[in-house]
Structure 1
Amino acid sequence: MRESLRSKVIEVCDAKIAQKGDKVGLSFYAFFKNKNDDPDLLMEAATWWISTHKLDHFEKAQRIKAMVLAGK
């Protein structure tokens, strides 16, 4: 996963956790605007989420952040 996407994931997870608490869930779409203005980056996130880690559609933000920080 490229560094810009890692940074965005951590930023979004932190914001969601601050807003809704430790148990908040999110999908990989949370890292993007409603526009598909960067399809390559969207596919990179989807591949990481779905193919590489076989995550459910919604996962806890805490888990996603921990995985990204661990370099997974």
Structure 2
Amino acid sequence: MALRAKIVEVCDKKIATKGENVGLSFYAFFKNKNDNPELLMEAATWWIQMHKLDHFVKAHKIKEMVQNNL
């Protein structure tokens, strides 16, 4: 699954279970083991270097950024 699709899927699940104000970090898109280091680095680069986001960001904001190709 592509990173963008995975991000939207996880954001939707978190919002549905924890509400609109739920925050998450880029680690939320991965299992608790490093089984896909390339995708993890892609997410970290997008989150930290490209957008300079805080550690926790509201899921609805992340979903909106991904859907707007930011």
The question of a shared fold, defined as TM-score above 0.5 by the shorter chain, is answered with yes
Q: 1:36 aligns with which of 34, 47, 59?
A: 34
Q: 2:13 aligns with which of 15, 20, 24?
A: 15
Match of 1:69 in 2: 67
Runs of 4+ in 1 over 4 A off after TM superposition: none
Aligned to 2:17, the other structure's residue is in SS state helix
Match of 2:58 in 1: 60
| Per-residue deviation, residues 22-63 of structure 1 (Å, max 9, x unmatched) | 000000000000010010100000000000000000000000
Q: Measure, in 1, the Cα distance between the counterparts of 2:31 and 2:5.
A: 15
Q: Measure, in 1, the Cα distance between the counterparts of 2:19 and 2:37.
A: 30
Identity score, percent = 70
| Per-residue deviation, residues 2-28 of structure 1 (Å, max 9, x unmatched) | x70000000000000000000000000
Q: Measure, in 1, the Cα distance between the counterparts of 2:18 and 2:35.
A: 27
The alignment yields a C-alpha RMSD, in angstroms, of: 0.9
Aligned to 2:52, the other structure's residue is in SS state coil
- Which segments of 5 or more consecutive residues in structure 1 lack a partner in the other structure? none
